[in-house]
């Protein structure tokens, strides 16, 4: 009889664990066609979806999202490239394109997500606003590509 009780406790232990489990789902960032002679910027919006299953008694998980570029200086100047041709852009936390979303101190996005139950994931969607500044001297008809590194700390 003691062996059965011990087995039941071991089976239930993972369900009451205090470890929070979070995942990210990222949508693609596509600017479309960039026309270097137009006086207006090229903007796009993508999303980062955070999903957390709480651990312990708290149903709220606090986290910080940071976005590191693979361009020059990461936060201050980001670029996408094709055969040495660079097209500069930036990512922002707000639709007015005034607050850069970065990976250095104070430039990440701090938030929280609340679950409705101990084994139910809380979900929060964050918009990422991206802009290519106008009038960049780049070759037309090229397929520029790059990547960003998104980090979730909780």
Q: Report the Cα 16 to chain-centroid distance in Å.
A: 29
Residue-level pLDDT at 78: 86
C-alpha pair distances (Å), 86 with each of 12, 23, 35, 37, 38: 54, 32, 14, 16, 18
Span 31-64, pLDDT tens digits: 988 888 989 999 999 999 999 999 888 899 999 9
In sequence order, what are the beta bridge partners of 69? 148
Percent of the chain with pLDDT over 70: 84
Q: Are 79 and 86 in contact (CB under 8 A)?
A: yes
Q: What is the pLDDT of residue 16?
A: 46
pLDDT tens digit sequence for 2-25: 333 323 233 333 444 568 999 999
Q: What SS3 state is found at 124?
A: strand
In this structure, what DSSP letter does residue 15 have? G
Distance CA(110)–CA(19), nearest Å, equals 20
Mean pLDDT of 128-141: 91
CA angle, 114 as apex, 111 and 115 as ends, to 5°?
A: 150
Of 122, 153, 130, 120, nearest to 80 (Cα)?
Answer: 130
- Give, as one character, the DSSP assignment of residue 39: S
Environment class of 4 (CB within 10 Å of its CB; exposed 0-12, middle 13-18, buried 19+): exposed
């Amino acid at each position: 009889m003691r062996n059965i009780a011990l087995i039941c406790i071991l089976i239930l232990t993972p369900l009451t664990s205090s470890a929070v489990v979070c995942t990210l789902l990222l949508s693609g960032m596509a600017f479309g066609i960039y026309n270097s002679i137009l006086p207006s910027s090229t903007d796009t919006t993508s999303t980062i979806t955070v999903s957390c299953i709480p651990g312990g008694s708290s149903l709220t998980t606090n986290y910080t999202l940071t976005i590191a570029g693979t361009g020059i200086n990461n936060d201050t100047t980001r670029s996408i490239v094709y055969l040495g041709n660079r097209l500069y852009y930036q990512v922002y936390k707000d639709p007015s394109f005034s607050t850069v979303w970065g990976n250095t101190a104070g430039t990440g996005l701090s938030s929280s997500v609340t679950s409705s139950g101990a084994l139910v994931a809380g979900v929060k969607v964050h918009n990422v606003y991206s802009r290519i500044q106008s009038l960049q001297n780049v070759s037309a008809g090229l397929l520029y590509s790059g990547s960003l590194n998104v980090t979730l700390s909780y």
